[in-house]
Structure 1
Amino acid sequence: MADCSSCFGLCCVALPFAASSDFAANKAAGTPCGNLRTDFSCGIHARLRESGYPGCTVYDCFGAGQQVSQVTFGGRDWRAEPDKAQQMFATFPVMRHLHELLWYVNEALALPTSGPVRAELRRARDDVRELTRADAETVLAVDVPALRGELNTLLLRASELARAAVPEKQQPDQKRTKPRKSKNHRGADLIGARLRRADLGGANLRGALLIAADLTGADLRTADVIGADLRDADLSGADLRGALFLTQAQVNAARGDEGTRLPDTVTRPGHWTA
């Protein structure tokens, strides 16, 4: 979990952003945001959306910021040691990938159905954890695409095991439930799709584009949403309990209401309607 108070504002400096509906101004990589204070806090944190920076509210470093600040660089900040600034800024996005992968692996390990791949997941977790504790040179040498590809194979297997255990919806006259038929929407273009009350429980939505999709009242229980783009998707009344690999950033980017049911791993965003 990210602890901004232990970070030197790395996401506000290392990363670039362009003036758009997500950001009110342009900012180059390595240049501090104009809203960054001298104590590394954000001057408009309490009113980011109203100030034109909703993109900041949906970003999650998965704890990479404090890891780079306090562990990799031992509490030395880029203002006090400007000669280390560029290396710190370059290390941060790589560390963010590592922490994101670590989060996904831990999520997979927590699944009661992951027994067949649990030993491999534990080895992967230990290997990634060791990388996060290494020096900057080692972190910068990580082949991120290769590592993501390797771990994605494990995560997909864990996902398949979990989704295979989801029963098909039972009709009143049925005495037994049947295995749910596969619903593969991996990487699908579902931008603006009308999916109101859709039965997507146990579906594969990995990498699906669900921008501005109407998912009102949809069943997304145990659906795999790793990498799914939920920006401005309407989740009002939707059921996401047990959704696989659902991140706080994805929830923050979507719209919902008090009827939206969420897994315990995420919290209801403050900007959602009551």
Structure 2
Amino acid sequence: MDGVTATGVRATARIVARADGRGGTALPVLAGEGPLAPRRTRGSGSQARVVLVGAMSGPLGGDRFAVEAEVGTGARLRVGSAAATIALPGQTKGESRYDVRLTVADGGELHWLPEQLISARGSDLYVTTRVELARGARFVLREEQVLGRAGEEPGRLTSRLTVRVAGRPVLDQELACGPGAPAGWDGAAVLGGHRAVGQLVVVRPEFVRDPVAARMLGEGAALMPLAGPAVLVSAVAADGLRLRRVLDEALAVLA
């Protein structure tokens, strides 16, 4: 349940997509609490579309937000957000958390394409994204993080992403940036002075029989095949606009 406590706001949003039996996708569960408000928008063909609308600022210090999405066999779902998420300092000291749990069944498809996450000065946010895919699932995830607003130093931002296909891990990585992060996070081996970092994860069954070769995608971006039917694109850029352009180009290449 949602609520405001001495240690911040607690809120969860949940989305469940199912094939409707008529070639489309139904949303039997579309529920949000407090600042997390999922809204259905006009879909395309058999694909249902949902936008996450933030009803208030945050996450702030001490907040605990969670989003869960489940896609069943034969269902197709695209989830975005209405605006960027801005991690801010709050009256409550301490780390805030944003936990995302995504599950896609065999023959289901999920495109998880939120807007950028901005780490404002003084904030402390830990983001976890856990993805569980069946063997025949199709999946696209875009993750973009911008370190600080214009002319501002970033807060501390830690992000962990794990992806499992048919119960087997294909990706498990964590990146920490900002004050208090391990030394070297802004050095040449990690961000190289860039203020925006992002990635794409694309999972398609056909990648098993027709694998994608590793290659550079211009300056600051690389495509790498993962174990099984998955591909990872990692990118850094000077700002959020350029990062989005790089990732859009990478997705076009994979398409």
TM-score with structure 1 length normalisation?
Answer: 0.24
More helix by percentage = 1
Higher strand share: 2
- Highest CA radius of gyration, 1 or 2? 1
